[in-house]
Amino acid sequence: MPESPLHAPILSWYAAHQRDLPWRRPDASPWSVLVSELMLQQTPVARVLPVHEAWLERWPTPAALAAETTGEAVRMWGRLGYPRRALRLHAAAVAILERHGGSVPEDHADLLALPGVGEYTAAAVASFAFGQRHAVMDTNVRRVLARAVTGVALPGPSVTAAERRLAVSLLPDADDVAATWAVAVMELGALVCTATSPACGECPVRDRCAWVAAGAPAYDGPARRTQAWDGTDRQCRGRLMAVLRESSGPVHVSSLEAAWPGTEQRERCLAGLLVDGLAVRVGPETYALP
């Protein structure tokens, strides 16, 4: 494939501006990369950094986490949100121990078969941990390619076949360069080509960006969902989980009632936590982490 005119400027920009993140360092283990990818889903880097550090200090290998209860994984997850990710990470650690002798697998298909690992995460770990050539398509990458190549402000809500073909067509031929390209485009989207306030004056491909050339037209696709928080089931579940995490033993239902007074919503959310495996009932009126 002929080299894209986007390659050199974006790779050069990344070499000069990349953030020093622990899961990107040369000595980062594949486990560190996998943990980071699950933690970073819908969660900013600044919130992930301290939890990632604490997690790797306590559980430096998949085997170390697999030996713990799921409840301890949920407790260590803290306030990152979407705590089912902690359960998935624990399940992945168990699978890595049982299927791969405790080492994170290199093969994309083996990664994809791990609990909680989807197409994006499998491609990211294969690229970032093992230097392989894959199209890694997170929100940042999709936004950069949508603007620079197709000339639209924002990509649609889900990855299309056309987007995937475009991303694959732009991969450099050499595996190691393709892996760097994947993280470079992601970093450009995170730091410069942001969703709401893109710093086009700082962009290394401004002069060849189709969106800029078109006059930076506004997004005109389907309405984009915004997530409310106050009074939602997510907030209620978070309050209940905080009570369970902060207790060293079973929690009486009265403590949960104090955390969220609305009876019907609290009971619905508590039932959901039990179904999701994030809490267990240990007595007629007591609950705990699993």
Using the 3D structure, point to which of 130, 160, 193 is the last residue of a domain. Answer: 130
Kindly state whether residues 12 and 146 are assigned to the same domain: yes
* Angle between helix 30-39 and 119-130 (nearest 10): 140
- What is the tally of structural domains in the chain? 3
**Could you tell me the CATH number of the domain that includes residue 79?**
1.10.340.30
Binned at pLDDT 50, 70 and 90, residue 113 comes out as very high
Residue 72 catalytic?
Answer: no
Q: Tell me which of 226, 252, 274 is where a domain ends.
A: 226
List 3, 37, 68, 163, catalytic entry: 37
Asked whether residue 114 carries a pLDDT value surpassing 60, the answer given is: yes
> First and final CA of the chain: distance in angstroms?
51
pLDDT in tens, 87-98: 999 999 999 999
Q: Are 146 and 193 in contact (CB under 8 A)?
A: no
How confident is the model at residue 223, as a pLDDT? Answer: 63
Catalogue the long-range contacts made by 57-60 (C-beta closer than 8 Å, 24 or more residues apart).
59/93, 60/29, 60/31
Range of the structural domain that residue 214 is part of: 1-20+131-226
Residues 190 and 55 in one domain: no
**Between residues 73 and 248, the one the model is more confident about:** 73
**What local confidence, expressed as pLDDT, does residue 18 receive?**
97
Does residue 286 register a pLDDT over 90?
yes
What pTM value is reported for the model? 0.88
Q: Which pLDDT score is estimated for 2?
A: 60
Averaged over 126-131, what is the pLDDT?
97
Neighbours of 164 (CB within 10 A): 14
Measured between alpha carbons, how far is 47 from 75 in angstroms, rounded to an integer?
16
- Of 128-137, 213-222, 245-254, the range with the highest mean pLDDT is 128-137
Read off the pLDDT of residues 15-46 as tens digits, 9 standing for 90 and up: 999 999 999 999 999 999 999 999 999 899 99
Say what the pLDDT of residue 227 is. 64
